[in-house]
Amino acid sequence: EAYAMDLVNVATVVASALTQMRAKLDAASVGVSRNYIAGPMVRADAEKLRQVFANVLDNAIDALAAIPEGRRIDCFIENGGNRASVRLRDNGCGMDSDDLVRIFNPFFTTKEKGTGLGMAISRKIVEAHGGTLAATSTVGQGSEFTITLPLPGPGA
């Protein structure tokens, strides 16, 4: 599959994913906090990257369904060491270590109607950008997904 790589602002791509998920976030009463002012520029296919962020947000909303109130997703964007990282953290149900290991496997899902492809595809997209997609989670406390992307070198 072809990637249309361009210099894009990471914060802009995160914002477009939040816009895409706005109706679902509102319907589920999930508050989003953006813990950044602007994002660094990365060389990426903005559409594909937006799909990754939307996927992670979608899973986070589902993980928050069991939480009676104060549902939230915190978004962080950081850059340092020639890399940009986006962290999306929810205070949802969390996952045990068994599920955490398996969430990036194709066809593994914890949802009734899930295909189990979202995270596998997301990781593939991030890796095609020279980046990494990782997750940490604690049962009953929530999960955090970190998407790390290389910053373009000088003259990019």
Q: For 94-139, write each residue's pLDDT tens digit.
A: 999 988 888 888 777 776 666 667 899 999 999 999 999 999 999 9
Rounded Cα gap, residues 64 and 30, in angstroms: 8
How many other CB atoms sit within 10 Å of the CB of residue 133?
22
What's the pLDDT score for residue 37? 79
* Nearest-angstrom CA–CA distance, 20 and 14: 10
- Which residue in 118, 121, 120, 128 sits closest to 43, CA to CA? 128
User: By C-alpha distance, which of 44, 39, 47 is closest to 5?
Assistant: 44
- Run means of pLDDT, 10 residues per run, the chain, 156 residues: 91 97 97 89 96 95 92 94 94 92 80 74 96 95 96 74
Q: What is the pLDDT of residue 80?
A: 83
